[in-house]
Structure 1
Amino acid sequence: MIALPVVLIAVYMTTLDFFVANLAVPSIRAGLGAGDAAVQFVIAGYGLAYAAGLIVSGRLGDLYGHRRVFAAGLALFTVASAACGLSPDAMSLVLARIAQGAAAALLAPQVLTLLRVLFEGAALARAFGWYGTAVGLAGVSGQAIGGLLVAADPLGMGWRACFLVNVPIGAAALALTSRVLPRTPGAGDRRDLDLTGAALVAAGLVAVVLPLIEGREEGWPPWTWLCLSAAAPLLAVFVRRQQRLMASGRAPLLDVAVFAEKGFAGGLVAVALLFGTSAGLSFVLALYLQSGLGLSPLAAGAVCTALNAGFFLTSLRAGRVPPAVAALVVVAGLAMLGYVVGRGAGPYLVAGALLVTGGGMGLLMSPLISTVLSRVRRERAGAAAGVLGTVQETGGVLGGTVTGAAFFGALDGGWVAATMAGLTVLVAGALGVLAHCLVPSKPCPAAGAMIHVNQER
């Protein structure tokens, strides 16, 4: 069925673009004269706009029709990708990346809803499994694809090819959208769209990420601490607002009752830590392999293919290995990577450690995502999808930001010291995932079909 590849292409592109820019970071720094904070914003700006827009975009799909919003998001993503590739300076690139992230936010909730329209029963479970695989594969293949595009330098585009490659793919997918995806009419009162709630979510996320990126370079002035302290109250006000809207009979952006589903909140924490670990690893690898070991973008991308290979090989067995064992493999792989970096080993041993790390992620990522989704009752599936996507992106942003802060904070001691500082953060995150997997949690009855299908894949 061609509809599934169309929606999965959108999932793959939007997830890939969070990671593909990492390998291009050294080239962007050199080509645009970007500083440390600017290159972090190239990564974090995308993820932040993605995370902040996900919850409201799910509501937009309900109001205007999921296929229509999907098509609008795909068109905007394609145009924003072109703007990224044509950016004349660092600020233009950051702004284009924010637009790209907002477009990705329009797409993601519509994908999950369209899958539910297209499939049911065991077929739906398989579709969710493929969704998880597409997300995971995009996450670990971004480095290799970015390195290949920068090294290939098609038409002299250099790092710009990492973004411009989306243009023909996005245009082709957009041309097929109206032909293969079902029309889903909008419903509800458009006056109920909670723009105030959307602003509160965006402000809360910015209050966390902005000071973490700018704080180190600015010497942690008072405004950074004020921002950080304001994040929790902003998000708390958002939650209370959603509760009041529900109590008054109006449609909220988020059905906060979804957090009461057994195991859902804990699963979200694990997903955030896993995606944060993946994003942070991509950022550290890009700088260490090229600036630390002096590898070319192509050679650095080739080393990163070990991560991809490990993920791909083990993802075929996903669901057949206990999650705790899979998480332990991720921890072991990151620990091995820290050991070989600390010993000053060459790229071959780094690739070996990445093979193990990717293998653990391949065993863990798809089952973790599908299990978190399957624990939620069908009537709360839309809310769960929006929350899960927001958590994925927020986890990626925070993982990359915190890891980047640790990395640049230790850079005066050299590339090895900086990489070790970053890897320490990543190991801590992976240990958090392991701790979650060691705690038994019973899924709701609806989880059975999906987990069974994942075990058979």
Structure 2
Amino acid sequence: MTEHRAPGRPDERKGDDPTADPRAGARDPSPEPGQDPRRWKALSVALTAGFMTLLDVSIVNVALPSIRSALDASAAQLQWVVSGYALTFGLVLVASGRLGDARGRRAMFGVGIGVFTVASVVAGLAPAAGWLVAARLVQGVGGGILNPQISGLVQQLFRGAERGRAFGRLGTTIGISTAVGPVLGGVILSVAGTQEGWRWVFLVNLPVGLLTFLLARHFIDPVEEPEPARDLDPVGAVLLGAGVVGLLWPLVSDSWQGVDAVLLTAGVLAIAGFWWWERRMARRGRAPMVRLSLFSQPGYAAGALLGLVYFSGFTGIFFVLTLFFQNGLGYTPLQAGLGLTPFAVGSAATATIGGRLVGRHGRRVVVGGLILVSAGLVLTELAIRARHGTSTGWWLAAPLLLAGLGSGFVISPNVTLTLENVPVGQAGTAGGVLQTGQRLGTAAGIALVGALYFRGLAATGDAALAASHGLRAALASSAVALVIGIVDLARRARRGSV
């Protein structure tokens, strides 16, 4: 079994994508590693903005009771405060990644920061629940515009082993932002008070957004020679957008209704139409939004599928445990957030290490991480079923730490392996497709885990048993992701690169 080799430079990978636009390589402004000392600073700026947008996926959860009290929000409005953000976030990922590839990642990065920051201020000053829901929808658009540019910048700025380390930092950012959201939300509410503290959950984004916008202008170089407008595939954008909405809407809806079935069917048909249209564009020699040859790149399809499945369990863990801590054990928002800290600590500890190891050990790092995650979830579920009362949080610390250590070996190495053979000129689009799968997985996982938790709670009145049911669904997702990882590992072994 040969050693996994890090991705080479574009000129060493000719023929990777026979349908790729030949102008993409000519437009790549990336310096050789070591020649641009600003590349790590540019990455730090990008990751700070990415952390801010990903944090808003989970930080708002602990503030929902305060929002309900302050704005007299209905249950449906509270649902949309959470799920509306995920919906619009996923809606624009691929299109904005494509625009970043075509028109310049710095420009799209700045647009994303601007939209997200302005919407955050509107959310923090919202006089009524309707205003808050609308602001969260726009916030999601800003986050969806910004995030594909980050993975695109990593592909653009880094080569070889440095790329693995850069993706390691991206994985750390993803893992910590998701896990630490409830903690920071709890701290803000404790300091600012439960009545108005929820506003500062959004308003803290203002100084961060302004600072990252200014620093991005300084450290991230613009890309010249934008593609002509006729190559931007608006039909593909509309079809894909309709498909994403059709698939996500039923998942983020608070109850299944007839319209959800119609939307789901329409979403599947729109995705099929998008696939047909993109093939048609490629046959005519035009530039489609997503070059379908992307999925024939070694490791891309398997990595994207693994990410979708893993995120369906990964984010469900925090959702069900936050509910269990507060509703089942009577924890405060801060205590509930602190109860999840071991996972965040473990993920942070191994994400950067995983980024360094993946260049040598390849998919084996991800498979090993998934084994640790699965073991940690089994132990977490057993600890909850043991019913230790208010001390349960302490009993869960070690199992959650183990699961977090495993998660750090999954997220960033999988991103690195998924994107390693993608041409730089398609990096934003590829990152957008990858993250769209993650958003779909997140929405599906929260919907499934939440349904199992609430159904179990209604049937038995036992919060520990209900949480156990939800965690089993998260464990099942991790087990499926493990199977996908093992299959891809076997394929890589046959090719001589694991």
- TM-score, normalised to structure 1, is 0.89
How has the CA–CA distance of structure 1 residues 441 and 326 changed in structure 2, closer, same or farther, with 3 Å as cutoff? same
Q: Is the 8 A contact 1:38 1:90 kept in 2?
A: yes
Could you tell me how far apart the structure 2 residues matched to 1:205 and 1:411 are?
Answer: 31
**Residue 206 of structure 2 is aligned with which of 143, 153, 167?**
167
- Whether 1:298 and 2:334 are equivalent positions in the alignment is yes
- Whether 1:423 and 2:459 are equivalent positions in the alignment is no
For residues 121-160 of structure 1, the aligned pairs below 5 Å read: 121-153=160-192, 157-160=196-199
**What is the aligned-residue identity percentage?**
35
How far off its partner does 1:173 sit?
0.9
Q: Is the 8 A contact 1:49 1:105 kept in 2?
A: yes
Q: Which amino acid aligns with 1:282?
A: F
How far off its partner does 1:316 sit?
4.8
How has the CA–CA distance of structure 1 residues 37 and 408 changed in structure 2, closer, same or farther, with 3 Å as cutoff? farther
- Whether 1:23 and 2:67 are equivalent positions in the alignment is no
Q: Is the 8 A contact 2:58 2:181 kept in 1?
A: yes
- 2:100 is matched with 61
- 2:34 is matched with none
How has the CA–CA distance of structure 1 residues 377 and 61 changed in structure 2, closer, same or farther, with 3 Å as cutoff? closer
How far off its partner does 1:186 sit?
4.8
**How many equivalent pairs are there?**
446
Could you tell me how far apart the structure 1 residues matched to 2:46 and 2:82 are?
Answer: 24
How has the CA–CA distance of structure 1 residues 354 and 100 changed in structure 2, closer, same or farther, with 3 Å as cutoff? same
How far off its partner does 1:71 sit?
0.9
Could you tell me how far apart the structure 2 residues matched to 1:224 and 1:117 are?
Answer: 40
How far off its partner does 1:37 sit?
4.1
Could you tell me how far apart the structure 1 residues matched to 2:352 and 2:221 are?
Answer: 30
Q: Which amino acid aligns with 1:40?
A: Q
Q: Which amino acid aligns with 1:358?
A: G
Q: Which amino acid aligns with 1:140?
A: A
- 5+ residue gaps, structure 1: 452-457
> Helix, strand or coil for the counterpart of 1:383?
helix
**Stretch moving more, 180-189 or 294-303:** 180-189
- Whether 1:437 and 2:482 are equivalent positions in the alignment is no
Could you tell me how far apart the structure 1 residues matched to 2:151 and 2:434 are?
Answer: 11
Larger-gyration structure (1/2): 2
How has the CA–CA distance of structure 1 residues 242 and 424 changed in structure 2, closer, same or farther, with 3 Å as cutoff? same
- Whether 1:282 and 2:318 are equivalent positions in the alignment is yes
**Residue 387 of structure 2 is aligned with which of 344, 369, 381?**
344
Could you tell me how far apart the structure 1 residues matched to 2:321 and 2:95 are?
Answer: 33
> Helix, strand or coil for the counterpart of 2:224?
coil
How has the CA–CA distance of structure 1 residues 204 and 314 changed in structure 2, closer, same or farther, with 3 Å as cutoff? same
> Helix, strand or coil for the counterpart of 1:410?
helix
Q: Is the 8 A contact 2:71 2:128 kept in 1?
A: yes
> Helix, strand or coil for the counterpart of 2:59?
helix
Could you tell me how far apart the structure 1 residues matched to 2:485 and 2:201 are?
Answer: 35
Could you tell me how far apart the structure 2 residues matched to 1:408 and 1:324 are?
Answer: 32
- Whether 1:95 and 2:116 are equivalent positions in the alignment is no
- 1:455 is matched with none
Could you tell me how far apart the structure 2 residues matched to 1:323 and 1:65 are?
Answer: 32
- 2:399 is matched with 353
- 1:454 is matched with none
- 5+ residue gaps, structure 2: 1-37
How has the CA–CA distance of structure 1 residues 186 and 81 changed in structure 2, closer, same or farther, with 3 Å as cutoff? farther
- 1:268 is matched with 304
**Stretch moving more, 119-128 or 48-57:** 119-128
How far off its partner does 1:137 sit?
2.2
Q: Is the 8 A contact 1:263 1:442 kept in 2?
A: no
How has the CA–CA distance of structure 1 residues 158 and 186 changed in structure 2, closer, same or farther, with 3 Å as cutoff? farther
Q: Is the 8 A contact 1:26 1:291 kept in 2?
A: no
- 1:195 is matched with 234
Could you tell me how far apart the structure 2 residues matched to 1:161 and 1:80 are?
Answer: 13
How far off its partner does 1:197 sit?
2.2
How far off its partner does 1:353 sit?
2.6
How has the CA–CA distance of structure 1 residues 116 and 311 changed in structure 2, closer, same or farther, with 3 Å as cutoff? closer
Could you tell me how far apart the structure 2 residues matched to 1:398 and 1:19 are?
Answer: 15
**Stretch moving more, 24-33 or 344-353:** 24-33
How has the CA–CA distance of structure 1 residues 397 and 306 changed in structure 2, closer, same or farther, with 3 Å as cutoff? same
How far off its partner does 1:112 sit?
2.6
How has the CA–CA distance of structure 1 residues 344 and 34 changed in structure 2, closer, same or farther, with 3 Å as cutoff? farther
**Residue 152 of structure 2 is aligned with which of 96, 113, 122?**
113
Could you tell me how far apart the structure 2 residues matched to 1:322 and 1:67 are?
Answer: 32
Q: Which amino acid aligns with 1:299?
A: Q
How far off its partner does 1:236 sit?
0.6
Could you tell me how far apart the structure 2 residues matched to 1:403 and 1:130 are?
Answer: 29
How has the CA–CA distance of structure 1 residues 420 and 122 changed in structure 2, closer, same or farther, with 3 Å as cutoff? closer
How far off its partner does 1:234 sit?
1.3
**Stretch moving more, 47-56 or 24-33:** 24-33
How has the CA–CA distance of structure 1 residues 186 and 57 changed in structure 2, closer, same or farther, with 3 Å as cutoff? farther
Could you tell me how far apart the structure 2 residues matched to 1:442 and 1:375 are?
Answer: 16
How far off its partner does 1:43 sit?
2.4
Root-mean-square deviation over aligned CA pairs:
2.7
Task: List per-residue Cα deviations over 1:325-355 (Å, max 9, x = no partner).
Answer: 3212111222222222223222211333322
Could you tell me how far apart the structure 2 residues matched to 1:421 and 1:242 are?
Answer: 41
How far off its partner does 1:158 sit?
1.6
Q: Is the 8 A contact 1:262 1:442 kept in 2?
A: no
